[in-house]
Amino acid sequence: MIYIYGTKGCQFCEKAKHKANDMYGEYKFLDIGLTLYYNKLKELNVSTNVLPQIFEDERYVGTFYHFVKECQLKMSEE
């Protein structure tokens, strides 16, 4: 499962949601405007200055650009 931590209205968060849906068929968007998800990112020692921050299950992927690169690698392996 792909977990996208971001905010509503974030252009790159929206792009990440579309990419996750295309590549994985599902994702979970976690709005860091809610204290629960903001604190979770802080607990994981992940920056909230650059959004979105993306995880695949428990593994940290990175920002939108890291996610795109990872998707491209996955596509080239198939």
* Structural domain boundaries in the chain: 2-77
Given a cut of 80, is residue 4 above it in pLDDT?
A: yes
Share of the chain above pLDDT 90, in %: 94
Given a cut of 90, is residue 75 above it in pLDDT?
A: no
User: What is the per-residue pLDDT for 72?
Assistant: 93
- Within 1-78, where are the H helices? 11-24, 35-43, 64-77
Q: Quick one: fold of 2-77?
A: Glutaredoxin (3.40.30)
Q: How many CB atoms lie within 10 A of CB 24?
A: 13
